[in-house]
Structure 1
Amino acid sequence: MRKINFKAGLNLIPTAIFALIFGLSFWFFGSDGAWVKLVSATTITKTWLFMNGLKYVLNVGFVTGWLWLLHTRRELSFGATIRIWLTVWLGGMLTLFVAVVLNDQLWSQDFYNMVFLMTRNTWPLLTGTILGSLMQPYVRRWPHDGRFWLALVPLLSLPILAGQDVFGFGAGLSLTAVLVYWLIASDAEETPRLTWRALLWTGIGLLGVLLFAWINTTRSGSLAQATRWLSALSPLTVVPAAWLAQQLTRLQHKWHLPEPSVSLRLSLLVMLLAMSPGKFVGFTKALLTELFHADQVTGRSWYLPATFVAWLGVLLIAIVAVLIAKMTRVWRNTVNDDRPLDVALTQIATAPKQFLSYLWQQYQRPLMAGTILFATQVASSLLMNQDFKTVENLVNVNNNIFSSTIMTNFPQMLAGTLVLAMAYWVLLGLTNRYWFSLLLVSLSTLTFAVANLLKLADRNEPILPSDLAELKSLPALINMVGTGMFVAMIVVVVVLIGGLIYLDHRSQSAKQPWWQRLLKIAVGAAMIASLGFLHHTGSMGANVLRTLGVEVNATSLKLYAQSNGPVLQFASQLDVTTMAKPAGYSEATMKKLIKKYQKRAKTINRTRDNQLKDLTVVFNLSESFSDPANIPGLKLNKDPIPTIRALKKETTAGSMLSFGYGGGTANMEYMTLTGMSLGNFDTTLRIPYTQLVTKQKVAPTIGSYFDYDSAIHPYRGGFYNRPAVYKKFDFNKFAYLGSKYTIYDQKRMGQSPYLSDATAYDNALHQINARKGGQFMNLISIQNHMPFDKDLYPDHDYTVSGTGFDASKKASIEHYTQGLAYTDAAVKQFKHEIDQIKKPIIWVFYGDHLAALFNTPNQVDLHATDYFVYANKYAREHGAVKKLTKKTTYVSPNDFPALAAAQGGAKVDPIMALLSDVQTKLPVQWDKVDNAQDDPTVGTRFITQTGQEETYDKLSRSQKRVFRDYQLLQYDITAGKQYALKLDKK
């Protein structure tokens, strides 16, 4: 590490002072400055004179700093230029890091702005500094020629006279402005002294400004024309600034003050100016917001100290960046490179191979580490796909997974690489072994990815933190992956461990100094630890990932793993909150609640004669079913669902508000079975089947009211963890392809890969007839699942026209509509069959979500599917209701247990009584849009029976009481002590 010259470092103080002068100018007289209105008055007052005088003095001081700094050295060398870029880059990244820690509102573009400072033109000052150093050798003598000033003064005057910034000078911080500063100060040794005559002319100019202002005032004109002459690049500012910079240089030489490297001072000044408010990505704003409530700062008496504190924070970061830069290999390798920049660039251009060879020799280890870790991240993400097409992606179906992963998801790949790099840093700091640390991280990640692939193939979901508990049950784990695969994995792991041990003995130490090892351990461990708090407000890990372009919430765990890799997917599930605790939750509160709804149940039961367990209740999830006619502007040549449309008129029916579009099947299924709404859960809990159910001590469903409950799904059963979930639900039977239960009458329609709805209903009838008493059945169809290929149904006879869809999806909608027609025919036959059965059957039919084929700005239209609740002929003859009408136009999936009980004329217990009140007294609850750790009502939203959205605040007092009771019940069952389940049995 190069020794720091602290005496020379004292010369940084003037640089910092000039930056502070500019900072004050910006804060007070910038576009949103505290005193900007005071310099734009329409009459000449003492305040106007003082404020414009102060603004002029600050501008002169700011320009003096630039010129003094630029003409105190000979031309910048290649090494100095590289060091300026390096220091500014490190300063920008360090400041971005601080900004991310303070503020989670940054975007991925802020990160890329910091990485690519010049190509994205993030800091024109840096670009101007580099270009200025490149042009120095060719313009060094221009200021010595008197004609230069004769040309420069009119050039600087033209934008002022024209009233337009024709040269892009801005406030003196643009690229062209920096080039002008370079031109003025380019002859460092012999810049001609500006005599008193020049200053005299400046004084005359200032008097002219006052005269011009006075003339405008007498004519009721604006004073803005006059104040333009006081700008940073006005001749009236530049001339005295050049003279002052000259005098400072003379004093510096006279007092024999040591000079720090120009690269150090230039980079410090560039950072300080570029990181001023409004120029850098919210750092100062975040700092002021945290410390001084920046939105209330303007015009307050403590505005100046707040500004000064913010400036000190930026100064500290800039100085730290300088110190870090001086410790890097790049700095050490360029410190003695005195070649002019143009010469160095010419040599690099004429001998690129030698230059690249030199770069590889000097930086091969970090380059190899970055490349290997990026390749590991990409490979692990690719392994999350089970096809070479993105068939699981609901929006971009059938894209090539390589282009999607590497190009479309490049920000996510970069973020995943960063996480792997932090793990590598920790190991490198602990072991001081380069290859051992790098390969251990890479091989562990790939092994973890293979384990995820195996689980995806078996259960269609990646590994979750809760799965670690299965490691305690080795036989079950072996049974899941297969004995042969398990043995092969053990052999591979043993070989890898042996190889790493051998490599550790053969490889040399990384030769890192102790402070570098500690720094890597600290930074890496902090980042990794923060991944466990991704869903906490202000989490550093969440802020970093969002800034890199990664969303930390997952709506589909499988798709999230494919987009972000298995490591980030696993991390996203470490910090999941089920639900905020309602105020006042306790055992005593739940006792009062159950007692309250025992009374309510007695009232409801006065008009009901049946017992729920004596009914046969079928919840029929029809995959992707929705009526295309509900999409505004879409027209079909004929009606594909005449039977269902007629049924909806004669029985309880309407629209169910799905929480998903194009997906979300398991979530709708969870709500229908449990009566619990996803709209009450924290937004980090997106998929209850995988994140919640198996963790519950008891997971009650509507099936819990029956002596026998079952599920039928004529497809693979492992999706959404259904076997484990149904086991926790205490289902007696789950029939699916590959289960010990037979799927009868397997039929397919057209070229569809999925079994038909007719098959689903045939199996449902088989189960209904297999038992004499009542039972509950969860029937899940698969026929209308995506993708809707153009050859799905070759004999389809439906055509679509109008609006509400993209032209590219026309054929898919037509094939999808043919599938609806097949569903309608199967529904007609099933209705006929159950009407012949001599026992009461309540059939709840609903589409789980719309297919991702339509396009309309109305979100309710995009999430409203069709439903009906039908009581068969025998049920209607024995106390069942033919049609319910109270709040049935729009319902939520969690309303179906209460609707089924009401349709069947079944008596209710306290919990079902509360669910009944939720259905009849509250608007339809929809998904939550925001969270609060201590209030579950925050972010909740509802849809009225007219299809209008409203918030919790719009509920009436009585509705709020019902909603509070509902949230207490849901919290108690899913996240609390389950008092209600014990009390309900008493």
Structure 2
Amino acid sequence: MISLGASRFSHWTYATLFLIFDIVGVSILQWAVTISSSRVALSSPLIGLWGFISTMWTDLRFVFILNLIVLGLIYGILLFLTNRFWIASPIFIIICVVLGIIEHMKVISRYETVLPSDMDFLHSDAGTVATFIPAGSQWIILWAIIALLALVGLCIFVNHMDLRRGRIFDGQNRALTATFRVCGILVTGLIFALFSGSVGTVGTWANTTSKFMGDIPSMWDSVYDAQRNGTLIAFLRQLNPKVMEEPDGYSQATMKRIAKRYEAEADSINETRKNYQNDSSVVYILSESFSDPTRVPGLSIDQDPMPKIRAIKQKTTSGLMLSSGYGGGTANLEFQALTGMSMANFDSSLTSPYQQLIPSLSWTPSVNQSWSSKNSVAFHPYESSMYSRSTVYKKFGFSNFYTLEKPDIIKYQDKLDSSPYVSDESAYKSALEEMQATTSNQFVQIVTMQNHMPYNNWYANNQFHVAATSGSESLGSDESLAIDTYAKGMSYTDSSTQELLDSLNKLSKPVTVVFYGDHLPGIYTTAGADSSNAIALHETDYFIWSNKASQSYDNKIANSTYTSPNFFSAQSAEHMNAKVSPYTAFLTDMHSKISAMEPPVVNKIQGWDRIPEGQTIYLDSAGNPMDARSFDAKTKQLVRDYQLIQYDITAGKHYLEDTDFMTTPTAKSDAAKAAAKQLAEEKAAAKKQSAAAVSPSASPSESKATANTSSGQ
């Protein structure tokens, strides 16, 4: 115990104070992400420090203890390094306060936690760092400085009261003391490094321990994830995720061969295609939770909630999309649609490419890049920070991202009855006005929110009623209410989507729309209990449609009955009869062999854990599951090439970046190639003609012999 007079502090005193300081450190980091905001109530519940601690007895989740242990390792390194408790402790608290203030400022200004990719600001300009600082933060900084000065002063005072002067090791044998300290640094440092480097990798001891302690990754909302699982653990989980295993044979030579193979394939495809993708506007619409509820096994709805979209699907390229999500995982479907990559190729540890992968990549090819950056715009009537979209869209090259937040605020924000979400009609109107304001062709990304869970009887005069089909298990009252509400929302989407297409038909510029539902809502409890419904509960609706100003109006391509979002760029190019890049040519070939592919799925909301066991789900053109072991040689090669291509882009050495593998032909580029080819041919012809003129037709001796013969005759 500390007395009024000087005394020699015991190791038990240091241990007690160590625990207290460690708790203070964790509390500071949790304060940093605990903010009160109206948006939090919509996305995720607010979890304060007490809620974080109380889960130990309410939910038997011990993530508070886990964060104490991991943060304690950092504290321990400082103690072994300095061998002075009253030096290491204030340094430890200062580090926590500085990191906490940075975290808090980013959460306040962007509603997003600090990500590993944000560490780049340490060697960036001051303007980048300044974006973390919201107005009025000087008071937080001032009070923090005052508190830290008081703490340092207190530690100096207590250090004088402590006859040990805070020495953890104060033996007479200096060599032994040094050995203990070095061993302590190495052991604590190694444990921390191993944990930090593998906690995000499924199957490792760190990941298993983290889950055992109650870690439940919730990366759709980085702030909620930090509140729920601890700021430190939420950060470390994203520090070193395992992306992919390196495929056998990966090398620069291998990637060159692949590039040449699909350059030839692209040349073959482009011989029969007349159009260019960026000579038209393309609109990708991710319709939140859109899927036909009448297809759900065991359900009967008294009215059709989507007659207009059903009619649209009959007239154009359309079908069912195999989704890797159920009740969640929106950004993963969006990622696949925009990049052409498949979640099936990633390691199961990579649960969210938007958070774990894209921010740290230097090369991020995406479908919108066939248009200029200024003509790539996105709309999402919700928070820009969700799934780190604001960061990801900048990487992809979108010039503007219109949301409910600054700097680009979406214009229309109307809601339906008591729904907390902006209607699809408002999202469509905002995007439509942007398209009407320019004659330029654009790539427009729309991610709606209207049909987001939960479904709490939001709509007045709801005429939809669900029931179990004959012979099926009856539905619970909560399940029925949720499905009824969802069906009404689907009806609103049905009408507003038809109105959008009618408006696009009035435009004089060509427009193609790729519309798809990301996943089914997680409300089908009864159907989900039957494992035989696995694929049915992971099939949503999609269509590709072109307006009357397009040459592809009323087109309907073959092999469209089943697909997955990674094939949308290839399908839309085929629908538009547009020329393709070697990459899109590859995806076209792939889709001809495998209509849809996704990682293993289950009939429940998976949260953010991928399923490491089981094979990838492959569907043929009739929607039947395919066994990878029975693939023919061509299909096996395509699957292997896909893994090599995706590895090179995401985890490899980017050999393809210096090639034209991702370059989509344009009228301008083809004209330049044609001119260059013609010039080369003209130069070759001129060189040949010049060589013929300089070379004599016969040698002098031959000429003389000819002359003599002639005179003799």
TM-score, L = length of structure 2 = 0.77
Change (3 A) 1:449 1:644: farther
- SS of equivalent to 1:852: coil
Asked whether the 8 Å contact 2:105–2:134 carries over to 1, the reply is no
Change (3 A) 1:739 1:483: closer
Q: State which of 77, 86, 92 in structure 2 corresponds to 1:426.
A: 77
Letter of the aligned partner of 1:793 in structure 2? Y
Letter of the aligned partner of 1:579 in structure 2? M
Change (3 A) 1:578 1:498: same
The CA distance in 1 between the partners of 2:579 and 2:335, in whole Å, is: 23
1:761 aligns with 2:431: no
Q: State which of 287, 297, 303 in structure 2 corresponds to 1:638.
A: 303
Q: State which of 948, 965, 972 in structure 1 corresponds to 2:648.
A: 972
The alignment covers a number of residue pairs equal to 611
- SS of equivalent to 1:873: coil
Q: State which of 892, 896, 908 in structure 1 corresponds to 2:564.
A: 892
The CA distance in 2 between the partners of 1:387 and 1:759, in whole Å, is: 27
State the structure with more CA Rg. Answer: 1
| 1:182-227 Cα deviation digits (max 9, x unpaired) | xxxxxxxxxxxxxxxxxxxxxxxxxxxxxxxxxxxxxxxxxxxxxx
CA-CA distance at 1:436 after TM superposition: 5.8
CA-CA distance at 1:677 after TM superposition: 1.4
CA-CA distance at 1:823 after TM superposition: 0.7
CA-CA distance at 1:474 after TM superposition: 2.8
CA-CA distance at 1:567 after TM superposition: 0.6
Change (3 A) 1:813 1:442: farther
Structure 2 stretches lacking a partner, 5+ long = 1-9, 172-176, 602-611, 664-672, 674-713
Letter of the aligned partner of 2:447 in structure 1? I
Partner of 2:585: 913
Q: Once the two structures are aligned, what percentage of the paired residues are identical?
A: 33
Change (3 A) 1:366 1:392: farther
Partner of 1:530: 194
Partner of 1:503: 154
Q: State which of 955, 959, 962 in structure 1 corresponds to 2:638.
A: 962
CA-CA distance at 1:750 after TM superposition: 0.7
Partner of 1:904: 576
Change (3 A) 1:955 1:795: same
Change (3 A) 1:758 1:550: closer
- SS of equivalent to 1:640: coil
Q: State which of 538, 545, 556 in structure 2 corresponds to 1:883.
A: 556
The CA distance in 2 between the partners of 1:378 and 1:854, in whole Å, is: 39
CA-CA distance at 1:866 after TM superposition: 1.6
The CA distance in 1 between the partners of 2:453 and 2:31, in whole Å, is: 22
Partner of 2:694: none
CA-CA distance at 1:543 after TM superposition: 5.2
Change (3 A) 1:925 1:455: farther
| 1:314-352 Cα deviation digits (max 9, x unpaired) | xxxxxxxxxxxxxxxxxxxxxxxxxxxxxxxxxxxxxxx
Q: State which of 211, 232, 240 in structure 2 corresponds to 1:567.
A: 232
Change (3 A) 1:530 1:979: closer
Q: State which of 821, 824, 841 in structure 1 corresponds to 2:494.
A: 824
CA-CA distance at 1:665 after TM superposition: 2.1
Partner of 2:174: none
Q: State which of 294, 307, 314 in structure 2 corresponds to 1:629.
A: 294
Letter of the aligned partner of 2:453 in structure 1? M
CA-CA distance at 1:940 after TM superposition: 5.7
Change (3 A) 1:368 1:497: closer
| 1:83-136 Cα deviation digits (max 9, x unpaired) | xxxxxxxxxxxxxxxxxxxxxxxxxxxxxxxxxxxxxxxxxxxxxxxxxxxxxx
Partner of 2:519: 849
| 1:492-530 Cα deviation digits (max 9, x unpaired) | 443344233223312224564456766654543232122
The CA distance in 1 between the partners of 2:44 and 2:229, in whole Å, is: 13
Partner of 1:812: 482
The CA distance in 2 between the partners of 1:455 and 1:406, in whole Å, is: 31
Q: State which of 122, 131, 134 in structure 2 corresponds to 1:479.
A: 131
Partner of 1:42: none
The CA distance in 1 between the partners of 2:657 and 2:501, in whole Å, is: 35
- SS of equivalent to 2:132: helix
The CA distance in 1 between the partners of 2:64 and 2:82, in whole Å, is: 26
Asked whether the 8 Å contact 1:675–1:893 carries over to 2, the reply is yes
The CA distance in 2 between the partners of 1:774 and 1:436, in whole Å, is: 62
| 1:340-382 Cα deviation digits (max 9, x unpaired) | xxxxxxxxxxxxxxxxxxxxx9966645644664575467457
1:700 aligns with 2:365: yes
Q: State which of 361, 377, 381 in structure 2 corresponds to 1:710.
A: 377
- SS of equivalent to 2:535: helix
Q: State which of 609, 616, 633 in structure 2 corresponds to 1:941.
A: 616
| 1:715-763 Cα deviation digits (max 9, x unpaired) | 3323333333222222233333344556334422112232211112212
Write out aligned runs for 1:168-207 (5 A): none
The CA distance in 2 between the partners of 1:546 and 1:874, in whole Å, is: 54
Write out aligned runs for 1:316-331 (5 A): none
The CA distance in 2 between the partners of 1:928 and 1:474, in whole Å, is: 45
Asked whether the 8 Å contact 2:219–2:387 carries over to 1, the reply is no
Change (3 A) 1:826 1:542: closer
The CA distance in 2 between the partners of 1:411 and 1:400, in whole Å, is: 12
- SS of equivalent to 1:481: coil
The CA distance in 2 between the partners of 1:943 and 1:917, in whole Å, is: 15
Q: State which of 597, 601, 609 in structure 2 corresponds to 1:925.
A: 597
The CA distance in 2 between the partners of 1:840 and 1:591, in whole Å, is: 36
Write out aligned runs for 1:354-369 (5 A): 366-367=15-16, 369=18
The CA distance in 2 between the partners of 1:938 and 1:913, in whole Å, is: 31
CA-CA distance at 1:880 after TM superposition: 5.0
- SS of equivalent to 1:455: helix
Change (3 A) 1:784 1:873: same
- SS of equivalent to 1:833: helix
| 1:14-35 Cα deviation digits (max 9, x unpaired) | xxxxxxxxxxxxxxxxxxxxxx
1:448 aligns with 2:99: yes
Change (3 A) 1:519 1:605: closer
Letter of the aligned partner of 1:531 in structure 2? F
The CA distance in 1 between the partners of 2:258 and 2:474, in whole Å, is: 46
The structure where helix makes up a greater share of residues is 1
Q: What's the C-alpha RMSD, in Å, of the aligned pairs?
A: 3.5
| Structure showing greater relative contact order (alpha-carbon pairs closer than 8 Å, 6 or more residues apart) | 2
Structure 1 stretches lacking a partner, 5+ long = 1-360, 930-936
The CA distance in 1 between the partners of 2:460 and 2:188, in whole Å, is: 57
Asked whether the 8 Å contact 1:923–1:943 carries over to 2, the reply is yes
Q: State which of 487, 490, 507 in structure 2 corresponds to 1:837.
A: 507
The CA distance in 2 between the partners of 1:382 and 1:866, in whole Å, is: 43
Partner of 2:452: 785
Write out aligned runs for 1:378-457 (5 A): 380-381=29-30, 384=33, 386=35, 392=43, 403-404=54-55, 407-408=58-59, 410-434=61-85, 437=88, 441=92, 444-445=95-96, 448-449=99-100, 451-457=102-108
The CA distance in 1 between the partners of 2:203 and 2:450, in whole Å, is: 44
Write out aligned runs for 1:274-353 (5 A): none
CA-CA distance at 1:419 after TM superposition: 1.3
Q: Which moved more, 1:714-723 or 1:525-534?
A: 714-723
1:684 aligns with 2:349: yes
Letter of the aligned partner of 1:953 in structure 2? R
- SS of equivalent to 2:320: strand
Asked whether the 8 Å contact 2:221–2:387 carries over to 1, the reply is no
Partner of 1:934: none
Change (3 A) 1:551 1:753: closer
Q: Which moved more, 1:632-641 or 1:565-574?
A: 632-641
Q: Which moved more, 1:731-740 or 1:811-820?
A: 731-740
Asked whether the 8 Å contact 1:433–1:504 carries over to 2, the reply is no
Asked whether the 8 Å contact 1:614–1:773 carries over to 2, the reply is no
The CA distance in 1 between the partners of 2:491 and 2:441, in whole Å, is: 31
